[in-house]
Each structure stands twice: as structure tokens, then as C-alpha cells.
Amino acid sequence: MRILVAHNTYHYRGGEDTVVDAEIALLKRHGHEVCLYQRHNTELEHLTSLESGLSTLWSRQTVADMLRLHESFQPELIHAHNIFPLISPSLYRIARKLGIPVVQTLHNFRLVCPQAMLMREGRSCTDCVGNVPWRAVLRRCYRGSITQSAATSAMLGLHRLLGTWQHDVTRYIVLNQLCRDIFVDGGLSIEKMRIKPNFVDANAEPEWLERHGGVFIGRLSPEKGIDVLARALQDLPELRIEVYGKGPLQYMVERTAGLDYRGFHSSESLTQRLHRAAYLVMPSIGIESFGLVAVEAFACGTPVIASRHGGLLELVVHGKTGLLVNPGEPEALADAIRYAETHPLEMRRMGMAAYQDYLARFTPEHNYEQLMRIYDDALASLPLPAIDTSNYAEARAGR
């Protein structure tokens, strides 16, 4: 199969980028031809506010690139990941005109929340789910900017009105039942939803001896709860948690007693540390759509201390594969970390159960079978009308 993968990368590398790379490698390993259409947010530095806003609504460059790739690569299917803000929904419209089915993985909640994380002022927020997202503009939800919030909200509203989400995407991949329910509440078709979690390619079996300490791995930003972890450690003055990653709160991490900042490391280095860690801490305030690093920990036999909401609630079984605490409560997080430090045998038992859960649900082989069923389902859908690609003006106009 010839598969075109489309992805707009972020300023700070995160779980979505890791998933895209892993799925491409998995597809190639099984003999598929894969072409990556990638754009990066650094392109925004060369655009005016007006140009970036218009690109969010409709990208002429994406249309032109898709026509070129249709002729040179001739994809049978497009698998889109992040399309915001540079690729834009124009990808879906031109794909439909070309008769190419589109599978869209919904890694975050952008299609129902302009800010994408269902979070506002340190709390979960679903005010825009299923509604016109005018509140996000007034509240400056996206990057604290009324202009950027307006552009994002306009994109969501316009393409909802045009029926883009309903008619131009063949199948949606959601990561769990929770995500499916939220997107259905937001107006997406349940018939087009397919649940497929992310996966981790484990290169070695876990080692159960010589484990010590806790680690935090992820973007250093408010929604990840790094400040909650910092406050929790005030009750544990003798303890230090290693922190790996980068992001806007790096300065806070570097200045906080109890947080041992180790910088940004390669995935191989992080895997080695997880194999030796006693536990992973994920104190997310924002609703995680999945929580890839938790599965990475499971693959290393490492239990997870996580917030009791979102995708983490569906991943971690309290007392079996880790510990769950109420989000945003540093005292509860401190109690869980204290338990982990004083009950190493129990944490090792949870780590063993976490590894068995990984083998049962999150291996590449299991994920490949799920992905192929979704691709076959998309390809078997009713054929879409193709256009004469020589009529470039009509395709760019989107008529």
C-alpha cells in the first residue's frame, strides 16, 4: 500500500511526533511505501499574523503540495496526524476531490477545543465541546492571544459549517473510549470513529533489580502538572525526582528544590532510565488523550503514579499497575510518592503487572493489526469522486 502521512510538528517535540515516527517505521517494516508530508511550526516565524490566520483556515500551499504528491507518489490512502495550523483542513477537501480516503488520528482535542487540552486556568473545561467556540476567543484560550484564539475558533466554526469534519474525513482514530465520547459530544460521527491506542516498540525485557528513584518525563508546561509535583515535594524534603524534557517551565524546574533537572534526552536514553526507575510520575492537570510515556514505562516494567482523569484513568489501574491521585492535589501526590518510596516490593509487583498489560495491549504487532483493519475499512468505503488534476485553479479554489 502507498500511504501518505501528513503531520505538522510542534516547537517542542512531544508524544505525537514520537507516534508518527513509530507508525511510519512500523508500516515500512511491513513492506508499505510511505511518504511523509511534514510542516513545522517554525514556518510561522516567516508569516504575518494575517497570513498565519488565513493558512489556519485554508492552506494554498497544502493544496499545491497534495496535487504534486498525487502525481509523483500516487497515494492510495492519507493518514493525517496533526494538521494545525499550517497544513489546515484543506488537506481533507483536496483529498476528497482526488478520491483518496483520509484517516485522521485525533491525538488531542483540537476539533472540539481551540486550546486542544480541555483546560482553562488550571482546571478542566468543556465549555466549547458541542458549541460554537466563542468563549475561547473572549478568554484568549489559545496562547493568551485574542487574535490566535479567534483564528483557531474560526477554523473550527467554518469547517463545521462546511461539513468538513463530517464529509471529508473517511475514518477517525481515537485513542480510547473517553476520547470517543468527548468527540461524539462535540458533534463528530460515531460511525466514523475507530478506537486504536498508541504503541511502544520495546527492545528489551525489563530488569527487576537495582531500581531506584522516581522520574518525570514530558513537556515542561502547566498542563503536565510539573508545578503540582514541585509543591508535592515540599512535603518530602529529603527526596529528589529526576525531570527530563524541555518547555516553557524549564526555568521553574531548574530553581525548585526537589526537582533534579536532567534536560532533554534521546528516547534510547530515557528508556534506559525507565528500566532502572522505581516509578514514573505523571501529575497532569490537563486531560491527557492517551499518555504515551505511561505505556513506555509499562514496557520497561515501571509502574506509574498518575492523575485520576482522562486517558491516564483508562491506562493505570490503581494498586495494580500504579497509583492514581486526584489531579491538582499536591498533598495526595506527596502521599503516593511517599508510599512508592517506602513500599519497593509492592511497586515492583505493580511494575510486573504493568509489563503484562503492555504485552497484552500495546505491542507493535497488535497495533499493526488494528491499523490495517482501519485502513481496509477506509479503503472499502464508497468511492469518492476524483477530479481532473490538470484543473489546478479549480482545486485551489476548493470548488
Domain of residue 150: give its range: 2-199+364-397
Domain-located, residue 207: no
CATH number reported for the structural domain that contains residue 306 in this entry: 3.40.50.2000
If asked whether residues 12 and 38 sit together in one domain, one would say yes
Confidence grade of residue 391 (pLDDT, cut at 50, 70, 90): low
Contact 90, 58 (CB under 8 A): yes
If asked whether residues 163 and 35 sit together in one domain, one would say yes
Domain-located, residue 204: no
Contact 100, 384 (CB under 8 A): yes
3-state secondary structure of 377: helix
What percent of the chain is predicted at pLDDT more than 90? 83
**DSSP letter string, 87-155:** T-THHHHHHHHHT--EEEE--SSTTT-TTSSSEETTEE--TTTTS-THHHHHTTTTTT-HHHHHHHHHH
Number of domains forming the structure of the chain: 2
**How many angstroms separate the CA atoms of 297 and 303, rounded?**
7
Q: For 205-219, how does the pLDDT look when each residue is reduced to its tens digit (9 = 90+)?
A: 998 888 999 999 999
Tell me the sheet residues that pair with 34. Answer: 3
Domain-located, residue 315: yes
Q: For 356-365, how does the pLDDT look when each residue is reduced to its tens digit (9 = 90+)?
A: 999 999 999 9
Amino acid sitting at position 273: R
If asked whether residues 195 and 61 sit together in one domain, one would say yes
Q: Give Cα separations from 47 to 44, 59, 358 (angstroms).
A: 5, 13, 43
Q: Is the torsion defined by CA of 330, 335, 341, 345 positive or negative?
A: negative
Domain-located, residue 352: yes
Q: For 6-46, how does the pLDDT look when each residue is reduced to its tens digit (9 = 90+)?
A: 999 987 777 899 999 999 999 999 999 999 999 998 888 88
Domain-located, residue 320: yes
0.85 surpassed by pTM: yes
Confidence grade of residue 48 (pLDDT, cut at 50, 70, 90): confident
Q: Which residue has the higher pLDDT, 385 or 379?
A: 379
Residue 392 cell numbers, joined:
489546478
Task: Report the interhelical angle of 344-361 vs 330-342 (nearest 10°).
Answer: 100
Decide the pairing of beta strands 214-217 and 279-282: parallel
